[in-house]
Structure 1
Amino acid sequence: MKMLTRYLRLLYVGGVLAKLHLTSYISWIINGVFWSVLLIIPASYLSPNPVTTLKLLIPGIVGMSLASTGLWTGTEFLRWMVHDGLTDMFRENGLGVYHYIVCTLPVDLLLSGVASLALLGLVSSGFYGINPLWWLQGNPILVTLGLTTLMVVELFYGALAGYLYTRTRLSGSWTGLLQIVITVGTIIPASTYPFPYVAFLNPASLSAELLRASYGVSGFDPISLVILTGALTPTYLYIGWILSKKSDELIARHGLEYRI
């Protein structure tokens, strides 16, 4: 009961933070949609089957978006919030990297995941004269799994960013470098690689392939993906939890400095 109460309080904190940064969220989503359209239009026009290309690209963009969100969430907690004293406030209340990321998950899933999928589906449909609600026509089980695992993706990458930030001196540079890495299995589908399953080293690739499978365009069998989800999701969660705890231990031992 105590754990449930704690998580509910974390969600409340996340709601308050989201309300304070609502304008930034809206700007970020619109900006992301416009940049994504710049990628989708040429790729689709050069494809012999534009609709299939849309269904391949958009799940990848959504998966990459949540991974990127996680990276910036972890960086935010250990970078900008240090300057404002908010990181210290969290830590004084027994909350660390893991707790901060958890409190942001539901809002990020709705805005960076569901809203981005809906907006990209609506906007892109206009270029090719297809049903504007095509993104709602996927297999409901696979869509639910794909969107749910996006929270695990954000937690994993937020914890990874936190660990690298506290462990090294490269500061926010890690975030930029990892944003290139997360294109593997997302923007670039896992099935295009010589050894496709290697792409699942990137947790976002699992979410992307689940969404692709829901629209019938994944290079993986849906049943295999469901089995992989059951095996890999706990693994991603455990690794993320370990990395976040290591970050907290390093902060407790060495302190935390503000870096530009």
Structure 2
Amino acid sequence: MRNLIKSAKAVLVAYFVGELVRSKGLAYGLLSLAVWLSMFIVPASLFIKGETESSLSAGVLIGSAIFLAYSTATWDWAVLLRWLMQLGILEYVIASGSSIFSHYLGTVPVSIAWYSMALAIAYTIVSVFLGPPKVVLVDPVAFVIGVVSLLIVLMAYSFMLGGTLLAAGTAGPIIEFIGWILPIATGGLTPLSIMPKPLQVVAYLTPFSYPAELLRYSLGISNPVLEPSLVVILGATYSTIFLGLSSIYLKHQVRRMLKEGVRSVALF
């Protein structure tokens, strides 16, 4: 445990210095994010009818927050393995006896900082173009469970995506489907209550829909299709199983890499 914390601390220092101090990526990244979010958020008011300005703003903000969370898990955690492979560091990390999970743990503080700034930008854009969002905490217990479930799902999702990158060495159609289409199509951007019935069934078969539904319900945005108590039970069960299976999958791919070697790495 002490070695894990020590390794995670070293990763945090290196990541912080490399990405936030010596690089201009912070300013460019936030600027491009602001432009991208503006292109995504502004047209939302054209397609959603029958809602008040404050509820529309709140719904768009929550959808943006969930999307940014999956984006952080993708690029800061899952693609971290691809970055280590490209630099030729991953083999040395494993050979040194350091746990690969220390790199996930070490990037979490920086990821939280990035996510907080991105969420602040999203809130500003929503307030300017759609009006100040009205977010009311109506169920604190459901909110806490939703946040915890989302964090577990994000970590499990990054393990699964990272293991797939190790297995394939590239980000092809399968990874794009897992990384973007599946989380968003299962209630990441819009409530399941306004989705077609077949898509609702598919969404509830995945662990991605439950945290989003709980967060929207706890903040008074929308009610879940299922009973809230059932959403809590199923969400906690699915997220725990998802984390266990994805951890096993990532460890399997690491062992496979040790036997077969590192595959060629490309983004697409």
The TM-score range, normalised by the shorter chain, is 0.7 to 0.9
State the secondary structure of the residue aligned to 2:39. helix
Alignment of 1:1-260 (within 5 A): 3=1, 5-16=2-13, 17-22=15-20, 23-25=24-26, 27-46=28-47, 47-49=49-51, 50-72=53-75, 73-77=77-81, 79-112=82-115, 114-130=116-132, 134-135=134-135, 137-139=136-138, 140-168=140-168, 171-173=170-172, 174-178=174-178, 179-184=180-185, 185-191=187-193, 192-195=195-198, 196=200, 198-220=202-224, 221-260=227-266
CA contact (8 A) 1:97 1:244 kept: no
State the secondary structure of the residue aligned to 2:155. helix
Q: Equivalents in 1 of 2:110, 2:218: separation in Å?
A: 23
Q: Could you report, residue by residue, the CA deviation over 1:27-68 in whole angstroms, capped at 9, with x for unpaired residues?
A: 434433432232222212443324323333332332232223
Give ranges in structure 2 of 5+ residues lacking alignment.
none
Q: Could you report, residue by residue, the CA deviation over 1:174-217 in whole angstroms, capped at 9, with x for unpaired residues?
A: 44333222211202433324152531454443332232122212
CA contact (8 A) 2:57 2:130 kept: no
Q: Could you report, residue by residue, the CA deviation over 1:199-258 in whole angstroms, capped at 9, with x for unpaired residues?
A: 145444333223212221233144333333332221121122112111111111111134
Q: Equivalents in 2 of 1:126, 1:187: separation in Å?
A: 20
Aligned-residue Cα RMSD (Å) equals: 2.9
Q: Equivalents in 2 of 1:141, 1:31: separation in Å?
A: 36
Give the drift of 1:98.
3.5
Indicate how the Cα distance of structure 1 residues 141 and 7 shifts in structure 2: closer, same or farther if over 3 A, else same: farther
Identity of aligned residues (%): 22
Greater Cα shift, 183-192 or 95-104: 95-104
Indicate how the Cα distance of structure 1 residues 29 and 215 shifts in structure 2: closer, same or farther if over 3 A, else same: farther
TM-score by length of 2: 0.78
Indicate how the Cα distance of structure 1 residues 224 and 48 shifts in structure 2: closer, same or farther if over 3 A, else same: same
